[in-house]
Amino acid sequence: MAQPSNTYSVARIHALETNLMDRMKFERMVEAASAGDALKILGESGDYGAVLSELKGPWEYEKVLKAEMKSLKELLEKISPNLAVSNLFFMHHDVNNVKVMLKAKTLNREFPEFLSTFGTVDMDTFNAAFKDDDFAALPAYLQEAIDEVRIGMDEKVDPQKMDVILDRAMYAEILRVAKKEKEPTILAYYIREIDWINIMSFFRTHKAGFSSQYFSGVFIPGGSIGERAFWKGIDENMDLLLDTLSGTEYRDLFVEGLALYRDGSNLSILEKNVQNTMLSEIKRLSKNNYAGIEPVLGYLLAKEYEAKAVRVIMVGKLNGLAKEVIKERLRECYV
């Protein structure tokens, strides 16, 4: 079936953006007297309210988020002008499912009952592949990654190495599709994401006292910063990487990361700021854009960030955390 035009898709998305939760709504949820009251406030936004009546209590809030993501995926499948590109933003669900299944297999445990249903591979195909130990129906990049993992598992089970193999395969496939579909904005977005993953790995490697050899084992290829640029920063002086990043968009946040690292602070602060920066870039590309796929993907990311923010609030309320602590953990909202 032919996909809708860019103009139709973008117009539909810009209309839906008016239902996104704003900062005031998040703050009202945080200030609510109880988790139940916070959930009622959530029900005022978009289609969240339709599922609330089916919940036994606020502890089942995840059902609301899953229903919303299911509706979102179905919507994008109908209105996306390019499914090959919009599906890129769902691939991490496929990869995470593979990670979970492979780890269960290595530990000789039963396959987990609950997996993400938001990937590009339908669950019947996915479950059959692992049940029959036949992965021919999965995308080629997953088949190759699974083969590589299984070869390594014959020698030694290494969960971290397993994750890296699958992440590398996913990003290589994402970059390949973005290039093939001639989507420079999406390509640039993912190159930036890879760079930040590697920068965060740089800090974690340094903090753990590991060498550049260890870093090479977790490095994700495909970014704009080459692997060798990190080596001297790890083995000699961290400021040497700063010299490489001078004049790039990464410099200021990297300086912030250095300050946090040397102060002994939690690097999750930097991670949150990076996520905010990435989201701000998508917002900038989406606004007043009526010709490209960027608004469609911007809306998808906005909904994912919205779900994360709701999850932070509900977990905090259910566990009796102070309002100030919950606010500190909140990510920046989209609108």
The amino acid at 104: A
The verdict on 28 and 118 lying in the same domain is no
The amino acid at 241: L
Whole-angstrom Cα distance, residue 218 to residue 163? 9
Q: In which domain, by residue range, is 57 found? A: 6-82+293-329
152 vs 52, which has greater pLDDT? 52
The verdict on 78 and 46 lying in the same domain is yes
Q: Is the pLDDT of residue 266 over 80?
A: no
What integer pLDDT is reported at residue 14 of this predicted model? 79
- Any domain includes 123: yes
- Any domain includes 139: yes
The amino acid at 298: G
Q: Which residues contact 40 (CB under 8 A, 6 or more apart)?
A: 32, 52
The verdict on 17 and 77 lying in the same domain is yes
Q: What is the mean pLDDT of residues 65-88?
A: 87
The verdict on 102 and 159 lying in the same domain is yes
pLDDT in tens, 132-162: 889 999 999 999 999 999 887 765 667 888 9
The verdict on 39 and 23 lying in the same domain is yes
Q: Specify the number of domains making up the chain.
A: 3
Whole-angstrom Cα distance, residue 139 to residue 234? 36
Share the mean pLDDT of the chain: 86
Q: Is the pLDDT of residue 314 over 90?
A: yes
Q: Which two tokens stand for residue 121?
A: 């591979």
The verdict on 90 and 167 lying in the same domain is yes
Q: How many Cβ atoms sit within 10 Å of the Cβ of residue 210?
A: 14
Q: How confident is the model at residue 88 (pLDDT cuts 50, 70, 90)?
A: very high
- Any domain includes 285: no
- Any domain includes 284: no
Q: How confident is the model at residue 331 (pLDDT cuts 50, 70, 90)?
A: low
- Any domain includes 334: no
- Any domain includes 91: yes
Q: Where are the alpha helices (DSSP H) in 225-293?
A: 228-235, 239-245, 251-263, 268-286
The verdict on 110 and 122 lying in the same domain is yes
Q: For residue 24, what are the CA distances in angstroms to 49, 191, 213, 276, 333? A: 18, 33, 47, 17, 10
pTM above 0.85, yes or no: yes
Q: Which two tokens stand for residue 142?
A: 């997953």
Closest CA to 143 of 104, 105, 177, 169: 169
